[in-house]
């Protein structure tokens, strides 16, 4: 019996060693693939940053130069004064923040009604709401333009801000999933104490849903910051342009020969606020996405 036990132990030890080796090899391969994919994703950003520090000769050099020398940091201030980018930034911040507030307020109220209140036809109406996500903006573009023109909202930020106060199907779905993960016992206890639906929503649900609320606000602000088609349709006055149209106007300055270093410098400055915001809010951002996407 002792001989059998002695023979089994080396076999089980060898099997465990083989399993550990396979797991280590699999992790090494997985991380190697992730590093390669991450580098390929960052490649355009690295090229943009590299080009923003080049002079004209280095820009058109063949083969391409990845690490320019000498570094020409003057491209940044020279690009910023070529167009009033300070005004463009202020315009973008103005309507991006207001639209973010509108998306949070409207989507959270609608999501609360779909998740915490029982009423006839709720699920059908929620299904219809989700179906609206399948309609691209290009399909709604002309009807919306005609509506805003009849309302005399053109050449103002109203078409870019006010629709956010009527909710977004994606944000409603995101918040509904998060609200459904909150125990119903909390609402029931509040109702026993005499709290109404509005009080429960404001004092209980919203404080517990801060990660999801932050995600909705960030998503809407980033969408507004990167939006090009909306401002292009509704805004005609240069003093109202956001940074997206400012870059397009900057591009139009160089008709004969495009100044790539200046354009890349301006583009780097434009995307920098989004990168900084995501860097400082990534924990809340990822937490809100993970919880609202898994639970519910």
SS (H, E, C) 96-131: HHHHHHHHHHHHHHHHHHHHHCCCCCHHHHHHHHHH
pTM (two decimals): 0.79
**Cα distance between residue 19 and residue 14, in whole Å:** 9
pLDDT level of residue 254 (50, 70, 90 thresholds): low
Task: Among 56-60, 87-91, 132-136, 257-261, name the one with the lowest average pLDDT.
Answer: 257-261
Query: How far is CA 19 from each of CA 27, 28, 133, rounded to the nearest angstrom?
Result: 12, 14, 46
pLDDT of residue 42: 85
Residue in this structure with the two tokens 């956001």, named with its chain if needed: 242
**Cα distance between residue 115 and residue 200, in whole Å:** 13
Closest to 115 in 3D by CA, of 172, 164, 167 = 172
Q: What percent of the chain has pLDDT over 90?
A: 26
pLDDT of residue 6: 53
Query: How far is CA 109 from each of CA 46, 168, 176, 223, rounded to the nearest angstrom?
Result: 41, 11, 10, 21
pLDDT of residue 249: 85
Q: What is the CA radius of gyration of the chain?
A: 27
**Cα distance between residue 248 and residue 159, in whole Å:** 20
**Cα distance between residue 77 and residue 90, in whole Å:** 18
Q: Cβ(216)–Cβ(175) under 8 Å? A: yes
Q: What digits encode the pLDDT tens for the residues 209-227?
A: 888 898 899 889 989 998 9
pLDDT of residue 158: 93
Residue 146 has pLDDT above 90, yes or no: yes
The fourth-level CATH superfamily of domain 79-294 is: MetI-like (1.10.3720.10)
Query: Could you tell me which residue, 149 or 257, shows the higher pLDDT?
Result: 149
Residue 156 region by backbone torsions, left for phi larger than 0, else alpha for psi between -120 and 50, else beta: beta
pLDDT of residue 151: 93
Query: How far is CA 184 from each of CA 61, 116, 175, 296, rounded to the nearest angstrom?
Result: 65, 8, 16, 12
Residue 295 has pLDDT above 70, yes or no: no
Q: Mean pLDDT, to the nearest integer, of 146-151?
A: 94
Q: Tell me the domain boundaries of the chain.
A: 2-51, 79-294
């Amino acid at each position: 019996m002792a001989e059998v036990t002695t023979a089994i132990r080396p076999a089980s030890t060898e099997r465990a060693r083989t399993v550990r080796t396979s797991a280590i090899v699999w992790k090494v391969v997985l991380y190697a693939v992730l590093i390669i994919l991450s580098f390929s994703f960052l490649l355009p950003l690295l090229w943009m940053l590299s080009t923003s520090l080049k002079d004209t000769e280095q820009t058109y050099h063949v083969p391409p130069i990845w690490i320019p020398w000498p570094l020409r940091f003057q491209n940044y201030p020279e690009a910023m004064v070529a167009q009033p980018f300070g005004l463009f930034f202020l315009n973008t911040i103005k309507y991006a923040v207001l639209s973010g507030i509108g998306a949070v307020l409207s989507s959270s109220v609608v999501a609360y009604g779909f998740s915490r209140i029982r009423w006839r036809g709720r699920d059908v109406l929620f299904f219809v709401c989700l179906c609206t996500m399948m309609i691209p903006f290009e399909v709604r573009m002309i009807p919306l333009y005609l509506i805003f023109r009849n309302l005399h909202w053109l050449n103002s930020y109203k078409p870019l801000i006010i629709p956010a106060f009527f909710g977004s199907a994606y944000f409603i779905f995101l918040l509904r999933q998060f609200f459904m993960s909150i125990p119903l016992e909390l609402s029931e206890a509040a109702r026993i104490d005499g709290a109404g639906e509005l009080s429960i929503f404001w004092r209980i649900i919203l404080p517990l849903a801060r990660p999801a609320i932050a995600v909705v606000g960030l998503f809407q602000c980033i969408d507004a910051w990167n939006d090009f088609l909306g401002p292009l349709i509704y805004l005609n006055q240069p003093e109202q342009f956001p940074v997206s149209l400012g870059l397009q106007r900057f591009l139009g300055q160089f008709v004969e020969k495009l100044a790539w270093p200046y354009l890349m410098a301006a583009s780097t400055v434009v995307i920098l606020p989004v990168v900084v915001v995501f860097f400082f809010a990534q924990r809340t951002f990822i937490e809100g996405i993970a919880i609202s996407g898994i639970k519910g």
